[in-house]
Amino acid sequence: MAAPGLDIVGPAPGGQGYLAEPQGGTSFAAAYVSGAAALIRAARPDLTPEQVAYRLTRTADNPPEGHNPELGYGVVNPYRALTSLLGTRTDPPVGAMPPPGAA
């Protein structure tokens, strides 16, 4: 799983209380994914940690070639993670998300 890590606006001391960090890095990306997981848990407290992870990987913006070492399952998409209906249908509707690639 990947997440935005550059030019992230976050809380900072002074000024308006927020600052865009052009250098960014993995600590910003990790917070982005953690925030998405927290949103899912707030909306669906019945989900297990495994189900939250499954939802994040299934709704990520997948790389065109599928799972890869640089992006994993893709870039986390908090909106889709919260709003997508996931299930076990054997006849998914046209345009349904493909299953994530093998790890």
Q: 55 near 86, Cβ under 8 Å?
A: yes
Closest CA to 59 of 30, 29, 36, 90: 36
Domain parsing of the chain, residue ranges? 8-83
Q: How far apart are CA 15 and CA 50, in angstroms?
A: 40
Q: What is the mean pLDDT of the chain?
A: 81
The mean per-residue pLDDT over the stretch 64-83 comes to 87
Q: What is the pLDDT of residue 38?
A: 96
Q: What is the pLDDT of residue 63?
A: 84
Q: Which alpha helices (DSSP H) does the chain contain, by range?
A: 26-43, 49-59, 78-83
pLDDT tens digits for 18-59? 877 777 778 888 888 999 999 999 999 999 999 999 999 989
